[in-house]
Structure 1
Amino acid sequence: MKKVLLLLIIVIAISCKNEPKNEVKAVVKKVEVKKEIFPEELGQVFKAHGGIDAWRNAEILSFKKGEEVHTVDLQSRINVINAPNYAVGFDGKEVWLDETEKGTFKGNPAFYHNLFFYFYAMPFVLADDGISYEKIDPLTFDGVVYPGYKMSFKANIGSSPDDNYKLYFNPETHQMEWLAYTATFMSKKPSDKFNIIKYDKWNDVNGLILPSEITWYKKDENGVPTEPARPATVFTDAAISKNDLTESFFSKPVK
């Protein structure tokens, strides 16, 4: 009996040894890291304003310009401007306008709905996809020499692909201080006429350094800024927040 039992134990042991083992395969999850293509100097500018990673991870940006409340989904760029007598926005498919009384909104909704978002979100919007960069001659103002870059859009990028921008930054702090730009939305033709804005007052918005006011300047015959062209445009109540908004927030109100 003992011999039979011993033989049975040996057979079971051999059988278990010969059974195929279940292999556990490690699942390697690939994480795609966005490769930045802007120049290193511009990377220092973005860093001085809170960092490009912080900007790319931000979800909802809101700020006030006068009585207008601008709200932008930074991931999709859908947006809405709410004012006492009108609202204008982009829902991802079309630009819309809603007025309490016809004619209360002055301007072109397609042009205006994200106009001040672009001015306010400088310099970060100049890291968007489809932009080409070129080092340009510096701008000198009040004895300070500001290094600069020209940005142009690749074909069919955005609603005004012929627009060009020139960003000039402080050589010591790397903060942006001047923006020159062309406006081609209406004409749909390239232009070499640059408007220029001074950025010199900033606000810390959840770690991102964004403007609290900007000032359009007059220029001399060489394109060098001389004096303010009009009072500063002031931005208040800025915030970066998580996206807990419904899609209807950015849609035209149903009446």
Structure 2
Amino acid sequence: MKKLVHLFLLVVLITACKNEPKQDTKITEEVNQEEITTSIYPESITKVFDAHGGINKWQKMQTLSFSVVKPTGNEVITENLKTRAELIDTPTYTQGFDGETLWINEKNGKEYKGKPKFYKGLMFYFYAMPFVFGDDGISYTETEPLIFEGKTYPGILISYEAGVGESSNDQYKIFYDPETGHMQWLGYTVTFGKAEGSPDFHFIRYNNWQTVNGLVVPKSIDWYNYKDNLPTEKRNTVEFSDVSFSKEAPEASLFAKPESAKVVE
């Protein structure tokens, strides 16, 4: 009788071990990868990333499309988030960058008089805040907080390694809400085409957000006048619409130069 009892208990123990749920190695790998990805950033910028949905969620996206609302017709921008290939489609011209070649395709015989090299990636960069500050080759330093209308916003100075981007001498300052972590202000210098950096910071206020695919991105941004490297009063507002993200990469043909387009040297 004792032998039967022992045998019964052994069978129950073996069955329980077989039925014990195994740890999902895929989930474990994803969690570990998330910890590794996040840990490379300082705590302050990580707090900002997390408030906007997380840098890891951003890095899973491959395509961003949005419209810049303008009185003369919306400007539709499509970006490959990995290669930074870009298409800017407007009522009077289309500007494209396939990763190597920058081109302009004029419409309706209207001559394009803008600065395509300067404008390439410009609105994308301002729109994709704060996540573009997760790119490689960036250093982060605490800077003096911004005090505006009686509220204090902690600051992070963003600078680039030599040779990173079109203007590696550019500097940016993120100022964020200490309670929510949401980005509230951007200070930036303009050094495009110049050999040296600039001491003058321009200012954009980010205080109108929307959530798309779990990422908190701008619904509109306000450019401010400035004096002594501080914002003064609002100058104008830029609104955005038709925002979409995708984990699928856009077709490369989308950014290819049409035969009628002009190459920008």
Does the pair score TM above 0.5? yes
C-alpha spacing 1:184/1:36, structure 2 compared with 1 (3 Å) = farther
Q: Which runs of 5+ in 2 are unaligned?
A: 1-28, 261-265
Secondary structure of the structure 1 residue equivalent to 2:56: helix
Using the TM superposition, give the Cα deviation of residue 103 of structure 1 relative to its aligned residue in structure 2, in angstroms: 5.0
- For 1:111 and 1:41, how far apart are their aligned partners in 2? 30
Aligned 8 A contact 1:59 1:241 in 2 = yes
Using the TM superposition, give the Cα deviation of residue 35 of structure 1 relative to its aligned residue in structure 2, in angstroms: 6.6
Q: How many residues were matched structurally? A: 224
Superposed CA offset, 1:167-187 (max 9, x none) = 000011100000000011132
What percentage of aligned pairs have identical amino acids? Answer: 43
Aligned 8 A contact 1:139 1:145 in 2 = yes
Provide the residue aligned with 2:120 in structure 1: 113
- For 2:108 and 2:167, how far apart are their aligned partners in 1? 30
Aligned 8 A contact 2:68 2:75 in 1 = yes
Aligned 8 A contact 1:59 1:74 in 2 = yes
Using the TM superposition, give the Cα deviation of residue 236 of structure 1 relative to its aligned residue in structure 2, in angstroms: 0.7
1:81-92 matched pairs, under 5 angstroms: 81-92=88-99
- 1:130 and 2:137 matched: yes
Provide the residue aligned with 1:234 in structure 2: 239
Cα RMSD after superposing both structures: 1.8
Aligned 8 A contact 2:62 2:250 in 1 = no
C-alpha spacing 1:196/1:242, structure 2 compared with 1 (3 Å) = same
Using the TM superposition, give the Cα deviation of residue 104 of structure 1 relative to its aligned residue in structure 2, in angstroms: 3.8
Secondary structure of the structure 2 residue equivalent to 1:117: helix
Question: Given residue 194 of structure 2, which amino acid in structure 1 is its aligned partner?
Answer: S
Segments of 4+ moved more than 6 angstroms: none
Q: 2:180 aligns with which of 169, 173, 180?
A: 173
Which structure carries more helix by proportion? 2
Provide the residue aligned with 1:246 in structure 2: 251
Provide the residue aligned with 1:11 in structure 2: none
Aligned 8 A contact 2:128 2:217 in 1 = yes
Question: Given residue 162 of structure 2, which amino acid in structure 1 is its aligned partner?
Answer: A
- For 1:185 and 1:108, how far apart are their aligned partners in 2? 11
**TM-score, L = length of structure 1:** 0.83
- 1:65 and 2:68 matched: yes
Provide the residue aligned with 1:56 in structure 2: 59
Provide the residue aligned with 2:19 in structure 1: none
- For 1:193 and 1:101, how far apart are their aligned partners in 2? 39
Aligned 8 A contact 1:80 1:113 in 2 = no
Aligned 8 A contact 1:73 1:243 in 2 = no
**TM-score, L = length of structure 2:** 0.80
Provide the residue aligned with 2:199 in structure 1: 192
- For 1:130 and 1:244, how far apart are their aligned partners in 2? 23
Superposed CA offset, 1:125-161 (max 9, x none) = 0111000111011000111100001010000001110
Aligned 8 A contact 2:60 2:247 in 1 = no
Question: Given residue 246 of structure 2, which amino acid in structure 1 is its aligned partner?
Answer: S
Using the TM superposition, give the Cα deviation of residue 49 of structure 1 relative to its aligned residue in structure 2, in angstroms: 0.3
Q: Which runs of 5+ in 1 are unaligned?
A: 1-29
Aligned 8 A contact 2:80 2:249 in 1 = no
Using the TM superposition, give the Cα deviation of residue 218 of structure 1 relative to its aligned residue in structure 2, in angstroms: 1.5
C-alpha spacing 1:103/1:124, structure 2 compared with 1 (3 Å) = same
Structure of larger gyration radius: 1
Provide the residue aligned with 2:147 in structure 1: 140
